[in-house]
Amino acid sequence: MTVIIANWKMNKGLEGSLDFAADLHNLINKKAVNCQVVLCPSFPYLYVVSKIISDGLIKLGAQDCSFKESGAYTGDVSASMLKDSGCDYVILGHSERRIYHNETSPVIKQKAEKAHLYGLTTIICVGETSLEKEKGQTFTVIEDQLKNSLPLSLSEENIIIAYEPVWAIGTGKNPSVREINKVHAHIKDFVKDFTKLHGLLLEKDVKIVYGGSVNPNNCKEILSIANVNGLLVGGASLVSEDFYNILIKA
């Protein structure tokens, strides 16, 4: 099933998070959507939002987790705490974390291993910068990110790969349909080779979602691309009606 993820980043306070979750829940309750919906609020609001969406129509995700299980890691939030707070998903390795927190692919791999221990589905983000794109390095950059961040605990159920070109995030720019299709096909092939190399038998393909300036106007075209299994939405996920307008097109 297509999966559509709302990444609120560091937006919305307590009231805004609760209002959005309640509004969206009502909208979906009245008219069902044909996709799996995942909301990713900030850490402090996960638990309260989980109470509003506890019937499972909407799933909950966090935007990061610790690479350690527990202990003296001030400021970190563990995978088990996320599970306790009602999460089923966690976004890992978003470019904003790679850039502002110097997160590297090996650390993202450790985070994913911890998340899998607690039954969370990891949404692992990869993507090239504009400079890397200009230099024709898109595939090599993504291959390197995947090779070093995919954990051997991966299965078709516990991992989603998000292709998010860094230059398309929050800029209003998108790759062409052809470009998205080419990169997603490449990721799909890479994952097949990777799992084969490591003796992992997957019965289905891993889901690959696209993120970067998705909005209610361009979502249908992006979702119609063969190798696109869903969307990771930032700015356009902040208003419940806009986000619902994306969901109903899936």
Select from 234, 243, 246, 250 the one that contacts ligand PGA (CB under 6 A): 234
Could you tell me which stretch among 31-39, 55-63, 142-150, 210-218 binds ligand PGA (CB under 6 A)? 210-218
Which of 127, 175, 211, 230 binds ligand PGA (CB under 6 A)? It is 211
**Catalytic residue flag (residue 15):** no
Q: Residues 25, 94, 116, 186: which is the catalytic one?
A: 94
To ligand PGA, the closest distance from the beta carbon of 246 in angstroms equals: 10
Q: Which residue is nearest to ligand PGA (CB)?
A: 234
Does 235 contact ligand PGA by CB under 6 A?
A: yes
For the CB of residue 168, give the shortest distance to ligand PGA in the complex, in Å.
Answer: 6
| Using rule CB under 6 A, residue 62 touches ligand PGA | no
Which of 49-57, 80-88, 151-159, 232-240 is the region at the interface with ligand PGA (rule: CB under 6 A)?
232-240
Which three-class secondary structure string do you get for the chain? CCEEEEECCCCCCHHHHHHHHHHHHHHHHHCCCCCEEEEECCHHHHHHHHHHCCCCCEEEEECCCCCCCCCCCCCCCCHHHHHHCCCCEEEECCHHHHHHCCCCHHHHHHHHHHHHHCCCEEEEEECCCHHHHHCCCHHHHHHHHHHHHCCCCCCCCCEEEEECCHHHCCCCCCCCHHHHHHHHHHHHHHHHHHHHHCCCCCCCCCEEEEECCCCCCCHHHHHCCCCCCEEEECHHHCCHHHHHHHHCCC
Q: Is 94 a catalytic residue?
A: yes
Q: Is 216 an interacting residue with respect to ligand PGA (CB under 6 A)?
A: no
165 binds ligand PGA, rule: CB under 6 A = no
Contact footprint for ligand PGA (CB under 6 A): 7, 164, 169-170, 211-214, 232-236
State the catalytic residues: 94, 164
